[in-house]
Amino acid sequence: MSLSSDDAQKLVEFLQFLDQNKDLMVGYNTKVPVETYLMIGSLTVLVFDYLITFDREVNYVWSSPWSLGLPLFYINRYVPFVDLALFIHIQLSYLTNERCHQHVSVATWLVSFPSFFGQMIIVLRTCALWQNNRLIVSFLLLVSCATLAVTSFFTAKVLANMTFAPKPSFLRGCYIFQDSKISLYIYIPLFVGELIIITLTVIKAAEHLRQNRTAWLSQLYRNGIFYCICILGLSLSNIIVPQTKLPYVYKQCLRLPQHVFHSMFCNRVVFQLFEYRYHTAHNRQYHASTTLSDPDPSPEQYVSTDNHVSSSVFLDNITAKTDDVELNTLPSSRATTSVDRDHWIT
The count of other CB atoms within 10 Å of the CB of residue 277 is 22
Write out pLDDT tens, residues 286-296.
677 766 555 55
Write out pLDDT tens, residues 30-81.
566 777 888 899 999 999 999 999 999 998 888 877 777 788 899 999 999 9
User: DSSP 3-state assignment of 297?
Assistant: coil
Q: What percent of the chain has pLDDT over 70?
A: 77
Q: Do 250 and 27 meet the contact criterion of CB atoms below 8 Å apart?
A: yes
What local confidence, expressed as pLDDT, does residue 327 receive?
A: 36
Q: Do 218 and 209 meet the contact criterion of CB atoms below 8 Å apart?
A: yes
What local confidence, expressed as pLDDT, does residue 340 receive?
A: 36
- Band the pLDDT of 158: cuts 50, 70, 90: confident
Q: What percent of the chain has pLDDT over 90?
A: 19
Q: Do 40 and 202 meet the contact criterion of CB atoms below 8 Å apart?
A: no
Write out pLDDT tens, residues 237-259.
888 888 887 777 777 788 888 88
- Band the pLDDT of 24: cuts 50, 70, 90: low
Question: Comparing 86 with 315, which gets the higher pLDDT?
Answer: 86
- Return the closest-CA partner of residue 136 out of 217, 189, 128, 145: 128
Residue 301 has pLDDT above 70, yes or no: no
Residue 304 has pLDDT above 70, yes or no: no
- Return the closest-CA partner of residue 119 out of 56, 182, 73: 73
Write out pLDDT tens, residues 125-138.
888 888 889 999 99
Helices assigned H by DSSP within 21-96 = 22-25, 34-56, 69-92
Write out pLDDT tens, residues 196-235.
988 998 898 888 778 777 776 777 777 778 888 888 888 8
Residue 275 has pLDDT above 70, yes or no: yes
Q: Do 310 and 325 meet the contact criterion of CB atoms below 8 Å apart?
A: yes
What local confidence, expressed as pLDDT, does residue 28 receive?
A: 64
Average the pLDDT over each of 4-8, 101-105, 298-302 and give the range with the smallest value.
298-302
- Band the pLDDT of 284: cuts 50, 70, 90: confident
What's the whole-number average pLDDT of the chain? 76
- Return the closest-CA partner of residue 276 out of 59, 54, 23, 90: 59
**Full-model pTM:** 0.74
Write out pLDDT tens, residues 2-14.
677 777 888 888 7
- Please tell me which of 10-14, 312-316, 336-340 the model is most confident about, judged by mean pLDDT: 10-14
What is the pLDDT averaged over residues 178-184?
69
DSSP string for 238-254: HHHGGGSSS-HHHHTTT
